[in-house]
Amino acid sequence: MNWEHQNIWRDILKKIIICEGDSWTSGDMINPDIETTYVNHSDNDSYRLPKVWPHKLGKMLGINTLNFSEAGSSNDSVVRRLVPNIFNLLKKYNANEMFVIIGWSSPERKDFFTESNWETLYPAHNHRQGVESVNKLWDIYVKHFWNEEEYISRYIHTNLYIHYFLKSHNIEHMFFDAFYETSEFGINHDLEIRNIIDDKEYLKVTNEFTKTNSFKNFLLRQNEQDLFNDDDPHPSEKGHQLWAEELSKDLQWIK
């Protein structure tokens, strides 16, 4: 990731960091003392948010952070949340006071609007919903439309769209990949997505704005214990701490 072309901004202090992503940014920890199974429930915020990397990164840099991410998100839903939130924040902050960090979810996830709700489908791990109409949609999508060409292309266009959207508003930003779910991307996470993509504009953007390591790959390469939760593959609070420290190395100039 190369920040040399952005030196012009380094004399302007940032006031807020806006974070987006899925459960690897929102956290998946639920307070055992409250009655909910929904990780993003407002009653769980005081328990969850201090344990994840956006909060920890903000403390390291001494900058307020807003964490808009939601567990289970696709990149489609990241875009749907980010764009209106940016427009709202531009009413309060100057663009050069803002910095955006996005932890992209697995590219294969896909959102559809059915009846009155957005539904996220997870084809890579055969995750079916309790709603029959959604299950029928899942069957059709996976059988006829889910393929590498579709979701890689969608992933590239999502990256380019958000990059140029933020750039058009003079908002600095950083991207990283949280993890990959499909075997096409290497289930062991040793294969980086940019190694199998031949899109010059996308590669140019990723070289300048995207970390070369996914969050999960970074943790797997650490010689430390307890970086993942015992009962699921998500990062533990210790894992979030290490990732915050890693991101802070790129952002020391932001203080």
Q: In a structure prediction context, what are the per-residue pLDDT tens digits for the chain, which is 255 residues long? A: 654 445 444 445 789 999 999 999 999 999 999 998 899 999 999 999 999 999 999 999 999 999 999 999 999 999 999 999 999 999 999 999 999 999 999 988 999 998 788 989 988 766 556 678 888 888 899 889 988 778 888 888 999 999 999 999 999 999 999 988 654 444 333 344 555 566 778 778 878 888 988 899 899 999 999 999 887 789 999 999 999 999 999 998 776
Q: Give me 209's structure tokens.
A: 């704005």
pLDDT score recorded for residue 226: 94
- Long-range Cβ pairs for the range 124-129 (8 Å, 24+): 124/181, 124/182, 125/181
User: Please, what's the b/e burial string for 169-199 (b: 16 or more CB within 10 A of its CB; e: otherwise)?
Assistant: eebbbbbbbbbbbbebbeeebeebbeeeeeb
pLDDT score recorded for residue 127: 58
**Dist CA 115 CA 52 (whole Å):** 34
pLDDT score recorded for residue 89: 98
pLDDT score recorded for residue 54: 98
Q: Scanning the structure block, which residue is given the tokens 């031949």?
A: 198
pLDDT score recorded for residue 138: 85
Of 210, 100, 208, 116, nearest to 155 by C-alpha is 210
pLDDT score recorded for residue 193: 55
Provide the whole-model pTM: 0.90
